[in-house]
Amino acid sequence: MTNAGGFNGGFGPGGFPPGQGQPGGQPPHVPPQWHNQPAPVCVRHPDRPTLLTCQRCGQPNCPECLRPATVGFQCVDCVARGQREVREVRGLGGGRQRSAPIVTYALIAINVAVFAITVAMAGSVAYNDTSKLFKDSSLLPLAVADGEVWRIVTSGFLHFGPIHLLVNMLALWIVGRDVEIILGRSRYLAVYFASILGGSAAVMMFQNVLSQTAGASGAIFGLFGAQAVILLRIRQSPGPVLTVIALNVFISITLPGISLMGHLGGLAAGVLSTAGILFGPQWLGIGTKPGATPRAVQWGIVLAVIFASLAMIVVRALQLRAQYGL
């Protein structure tokens, strides 16, 4: 124990002021310049003499104002300053990386809630598509051309019966969580939204104008594509994901009533959006262009994908209006 002889102020055994002690039972650090000087006092409590110092700033602090650190003890001010200086963990795409995929959970909750509303309105679980909400919100190319443009988004939150809902929500829960954690919440949501629009654009362009389309599968195919791009980015084989995509495309072709165009359109939008986020700055040589930032490039490419889908929808709507005299 360091000898505190030469200090004034009624120090107890071991050189501590009465009622004080070194945190953790460690000997106090006494700077040489303090020997034979008046007792220092805590910088936060001037009425408390102390021999203890902060390992970071070196100022005297009483035990109440010190916190254990990796080496020694630090005052509360230095601890707070150190926490502010810690860099935030970010994912591959530059977004904030968080452990809880709350956007995925929120999307699942919205889809389930909308399904419950359609069931209540229709009075049937199996035939919820007879509800007014379903009829007014599903994707009908002619209705979109007639001005009901909200259908290109709302259709992505409707499902034909409980099995359709269960399959899509299970896929979203499995794939969406990982993609959200890696991309970050805002970029993940942007890819999801772009995939919905991509699926709607493909349905408008290539599917029967009288067909009724609904479901989150276009967005989920976009997330499958996003996962494949992520695996390429971390230099892992995308083989398993590509196998799942190929299997689902085969099912879309062989089983009636499944929108192949909606799936392929969502897949294309998801791949392009995620590639723009993870590879866009590198492909465009962002480091050689003054004033440009990786984030601006990423969002620029995602917005380009969204606007391209909207442009396809507008062009097709104008064609249908001219063709059917709407």
For the stretch 66-98, pLDDT in tens is 888 776 788 888 888 877 665 555 556 555 656
Q: What is the pLDDT of residue 311?
A: 97
* pLDDT at residue 41 greater than cutoff 70: yes
Under the banding of pLDDT at 50, 70 and 90, the label for residue 10 is very low
Q: Please, are residues 141 and 320 in contact by the beta-carbon 8 Å criterion?
A: yes
Mean of the pLDDT values across residues 45-73?
83
**% the chain with pLDDT above 70:** 81
* pLDDT at residue 7 greater than cutoff 70: no
Mean of the pLDDT values across residues 21-36?
52
Return the biggest CA–CA distance within the chain.
102
Mean of the pLDDT values across residues 119-124?
96
Q: Does residue 161 sit in helix, strand or coil?
A: helix
- The secondary structure of the chain in percent helix, strand, coil, rounded to multiples of 5, reads 60, 5, 35
* pLDDT at residue 35 greater than cutoff 90: no
Q: What is the domain partition of the chain in residue ranges?
A: 13-85, 102-324
Q: Which one is predicted more confidently, 215 or 36?
A: 215
* pLDDT at residue 47 greater than cutoff 80: yes
Q: Which one is predicted more confidently, 60 or 112?
A: 112
Q: What is the pLDDT of residue 21?
A: 47
- Could you read off the pLDDT of 192-221 as tens digits, one per residue? 999 999 999 999 999 999 899 999 999 999
In a 13 Å sphere around the CA of 101, the CA atoms on its Cβ side amount to 21
* pLDDT at residue 122 greater than cutoff 80: yes
b/e sequence 3-29, b meaning 16+ C-beta within 10 Å: ebeebeeebeeebbbeebebbeeeebb
Q: What is the pLDDT of residue 296?
A: 86
Q: Please, are residues 94 and 81 in contact by the beta-carbon 8 Å criterion?
A: no
Lowest mean pLDDT segment, chosen from 24-38, 209-223, 249-263: 24-38
Q: What is the CATH number of domain 102-324?
A: 1.20.1540.10
Q: Where do the H-state alpha helices sit in 207-293?
A: 217-233, 239-254, 260-283
Q: Does residue 68 sit in helix, strand or coil?
A: strand
- Report the first-to-last Cα separation within the chain, whole angstroms: 93
- Rounded Cα distance between 300 and 3, Å, is 66
